[in-house]
A = this chain, B = another copy of it.
Amino acid sequence: MARDMENKHVVVLGAGFGGLTFCQTFNHPQTRVTLVDRQNHHLFQPLLYQVATAGLSAPEIAQPIRSILSDRLDVTVLLDTAVDFDLADKKVYLEKSALNYDYLVLALGGVTTYFGHPEWEQFAPGLKSLDDALRIRRRVLLAFENAECEASAAGRDRLMTMIVVGGGPTGVELAGAFAELARHVLKSDFRRIDPAQARIVLIEAAPWILAHLPAELSGRAQRQLELMGVEVRTNTRVQDITRSRVELEHGQVLDAENIIWAAGVSASPLTQKLGVDLDRAGRVKVNPDLGLPGHPEVFAIGDMALVLDEGGKPVPGVSPAAMQMARHVARIVLNELAVGPEQAARPPFRYWDKGTMATIGRSAAVAKIGKLEFNGFSAWVAWLFVHLIFLIGFRNKLAVLLQWAYSYFAYKRGARIVTGLSEEKATPSP
């Protein structure tokens, strides 16, 4: 009984889908929760590509973490960055302070990885944060502006070429949205260039794009992208990336003002400080209950964790998986607080695959839900519906719906605004 009345402290690192869902699920009268994130907002990452392609504004897909949790007086939110751990002493070091914990939930997500070529990052930014998205939006819109002022044909061609490396969902969504931006949204807005002549190239090393989908859906997605004017190059490996230039494996060279890297994600590098086994992508090899081997009071969830589903395959790094893991861990901790760690059972995590989908553009998508496969308009409506349902916060849902409806009917984009231009000017251009 005495144990139950002690004040326990749960520290959660990361306010993505995993960390936030844990806080929303976990509620125990004698337990304080501290949620740490290096940003002030929770980001609806599945729509980040829409900010990068000027379809939505940054605040439409983000909500202040504190505002989401404002009625939870037991939760303290800190804007800070975790830098190290002392697992033996149950302590986590942040940049501005240190926190002791009884339970620690690691939900720091992933970072863009360049497979041993970190020098490519400066030439081919990835898309993980709002700042990434705003930078891509600024550079792509500026490329068209500069093409309108450019005297040489070769210069205009380079400015109006965009390369997306990686044919997973993010790469496919970006390539499709760029094609729409150039062919429809910007169509009538220039006098010296024709934005519809923009070249959008999607590069994928594997023989097909969207490799996680059945071959038929993947083929349909590729045909849809090609109809929209995207050059899809499968079986194509990138040899080197320098400023505005991609070299392919057989020596072919593509010049493009904008190169976007959507080819790799690995776990937050902080996993290396845990002193436990990691897989190649830096993910923590957790126990079946999502606990850290040797540290049952520490859990890793979401993109940081490697856990196998019932078929023996790794659970994918998608938001429904992170949210399911968060609820699983919340149940384990609540149960231990109720009956004591010795008495509490720790069931293994089971992933419920709700299906997978990717949107390709205006009214086209592919989706697989259970045994059902969709494509075209019906898949797009399903995609729209699922994303609106999951968008957190009423205001965002309504604003995003209106924005989409407007973009759909008027073929316009409301967020074609370049900010941070002075910052961009400081960067040397080729």
Contacts and interface: CB of A to CB of B under 8 A. Distances in A.
Interface string A330-369: 0000000000000000000000000000000000000000
Contacts of A73: 191
Contacts of A78: 148-149
A134 B421 CA distance: 12
Nearest to A185: B67
A186 B64 CA distance: 10
Interface stretch (A166-174, A218-226, A371-379, A408-416): A408-416
Contacts of A419: 58, 130-131, 134
A70 B189 contact: yes
A181 to B, nearest CB: 12
B41 A418 contact: yes
Size range of the interface on A?
Answer: 35 or more
A276 interface: no
Contacts of A131: 419-423
A70 B134 contact: no
A79 B416 contact: no
Residue picked from A78, A79, A398, A423, most chain B C-beta under 10 Å: A79
A188 interface: yes
Given A58-B419, A60-B57, A395-B412, A97 B149 contact: yes
A68 B192 CA distance: 17
B414 A395 contact: yes
Nearest to A418: B40
Nearest to A80: B149
A38 B76 CA distance: 43
Contacts of A31: none
B417 A40 contact: yes
A146 B77 CA distance: 11
A142 B417 CA distance: 24
A234 interface: no
A62 interface: yes
B191 A67 contact: no
Given A76-B192, A149-B80, A406 B395 contact: yes
A71 interface: yes
A385 interface: no
A390 interface: no
Given A71-B188, A399-B403, A39 B418 contact: yes
Contacts of A59: 57, 414-417
A145 B79 contact: yes
Interface in A183-217: 186, 188-192
Interface string A381-416: 000000000000001101100110010001010111
Closest 3 CB pairs of A and B: A66-B189, A79-B145, A59-B415
